[in-house]
Amino acid sequence: MSLTINQLQIGQKATVQDVSGDDPLALRLMEMGLLPGSDVEFIGRAPLGDPIEIRLSGYHLSLRQAEASRVIVDPS
């Protein structure tokens, strides 16, 4: 079952499967470390739901909902 990062629950871990699109945003997401095979953990959401925070390769990364919806993950 594939989801996007913004569909994960707090504390849930997943593996990145793909970043959709071939535009500059998709490239930027991959440059930030969201590459297929990378493990991520959903840390939380801002009080109004945007942005979200994930842990990736030992650091925390904040993403807007629109950005996070482009990262397809496989929950573990």
CATH code: domain of residue 45: 2.30.30.90
> CA torsion, points 59, 60, 64, 69, in degrees to nearest 10?
60
Q: What is the mean pLDDT of residues 22-50?
A: 93
pTM of the model: 0.88
Residue 1: pLDDT above 90?
no
pLDDT tens digits, 48-74? 888 999 999 889 999 999 999 999 999
For residue 50, the enclosing domain spans 3-75
How many domains does the chain divide into? 1
How far lies 65's CA from each of 48, 52, 54, 75, in Å? 11, 7, 12, 18
Q: Report helix, strand or coil for 5.
A: helix
Share of the chain above pLDDT 90, in %: 87
pLDDT of residue 7: 93
Q: Return the higher-pLDDT residue of 1 and 52.
A: 52
